[in-house]
């Protein structure tokens, strides 16, 4: 009996490890039960807003399917016995053109929208315009241009000064005209999204107006200057 009591109060190393593991498991279970449920990002949204989100997802799905189909065409060309070098050169040329457009160093054309913003200069701020540009990108805008002269790129910047809004070092005149290439319907719905471009500009705080025109042919001619590569020199 005494030996049993001693063994009971002096557990083996295996029992200690098992006990610690069970303690950690119980602690993790308590944390999991105490953790609040993750909030659904779509909870509380209106039906119209949910439809717009779904439209955006459908447009993105269509774009990805198109890319998949292009890759399948390339695969079929290679499997059919065409010269691999020729196929590679064609794909490289297509990729170069696509990347040049995305980088803003080549003109672009396609379906899209033309948005005209009219608002008092002193009330229209850079932050509002920046949010509007971001919303258009989220809605699928592939190419963006402001006032027929400023091609937006990944390194574009928007700021305020005493005269109004400055984009990439250029002072904007009013009205501000934004041309965007992408699915016209998705871009229009993105601009009209609750809390988006239209509601911000036409709010009492700004007191402006927004006109959106969908088009099957948006031509963007402005381009960005290619940065000069820096060549390291030995010391």
Mean pLDDT (whole number) for 32-38: 52
The percentage of residues in the chain with a pLDDT greater than 90, rounded to a whole number, is 32
Are 193 and 120 contained in the same domain? yes
Q: Is residue 225 part of a domain?
A: no
User: How far is it, in rounded angstroms, from Cα 51 to Cα 49?
Assistant: 5
Provide mean pLDDT across the span 115-132: 91
User: Looking at 23-128, which runs of residues are DSSP E strands?
Assistant: 108-118
Give the domain range for residue 51.
45-81
pLDDT digits (tens, 9 = 90+) for 39-93: 555 566 666 666 666 666 666 677 677 777 777 776 776 666 666 666 667 766 7
Given a cut of 80, whether residue 37 has pLDDT beyond it is: no
The reported pLDDT for the residue numbered 5 is: 45
Residue 235 lies in a domain: no
pLDDT of residue 84: 64
Q: How confident is the model at residue 187 (pLDDT cuts 50, 70, 90)?
A: very high
Residue 38 placed within a domain? no
pLDDT of residue 21: 57
| Domain CATH code at residue 210 | 3.30.70.1880
Q: Does 36 score more than 60 pLDDT?
A: no
More confident residue, 77 or 28: 77
What separation in angstroms does the CA of 99 have from each of 49, 94, 169, 228?
32, 9, 24, 17
The b/e string for 100-113 (b: 16+ C-beta within 10 A; e otherwise) is ebeebebebebebb
Which tops the pLDDT comparison, 216 or 85?
Answer: 216
Q: Rounded to whole angstroms, how far apart are CA atoms 128 and 176? A: 12
Domain count, the chain: 2
Q: What is the pLDDT of residue 208?
A: 93
Per DSSP bridges, beta strands 108-118 and 209-220 are antiparallel
Which range in 12-16, 61-65, 111-115 is most confidently predicted, on average pLDDT? 111-115
Same domain assignment for residues 54 and 151: no
Taking 60 as the threshold, does the pLDDT of residue 166 lie above it? yes
Query: Are 53 and 152 members of one domain?
Result: no
């Amino acid at each position: 009996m005494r030996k049993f009591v001693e063994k009971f109060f002096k557990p083996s190393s295996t029992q200690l490890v098992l006990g610690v593991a069970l303690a950690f498991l119980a602690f993790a279970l308590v944390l999991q039960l105490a953790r609040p449920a993750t909030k659904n990002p779509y909870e509380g949204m209106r039906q119209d807003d949910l439809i717009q989100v779904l439209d955006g997802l459908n447009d993105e799905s269509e774009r990805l399917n198109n890319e998949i189909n292009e890759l399948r065409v390339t695969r079929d060309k290679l499997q059919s016995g065409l010269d691999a070098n020729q196929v590679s050169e064609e794909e490289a040329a297509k990729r170069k053109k696509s990347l040049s457009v995305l980088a803003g160093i080549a003109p672009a054309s396609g379906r899209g929208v033309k948005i005209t913003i009219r608002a008092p200069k002193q009330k229209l701020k850079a932050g509002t315009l920046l949010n509007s540009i971001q919303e258009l990108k989220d809605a699928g805008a592939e190419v963006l241009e402001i006032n027929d002269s400023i091609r937006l790129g990944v390194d574009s910047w928007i700021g305020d000064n005493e005269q109004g809004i400055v984009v990439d070092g250029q002072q904007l005149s009013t009205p501000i005209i934004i041309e965007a290439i992408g699915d016209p319907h998705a871009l229009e719905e993105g601009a009209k999204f609750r809390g988006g471009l239209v509601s911000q500009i036409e709010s009492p705080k700004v007191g402006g107006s927004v006109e959106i025109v969908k088009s099957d042919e948006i031509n963007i001619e402005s381009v960005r200057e290619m940065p000069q590569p820096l060549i390291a020199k030995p010391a």
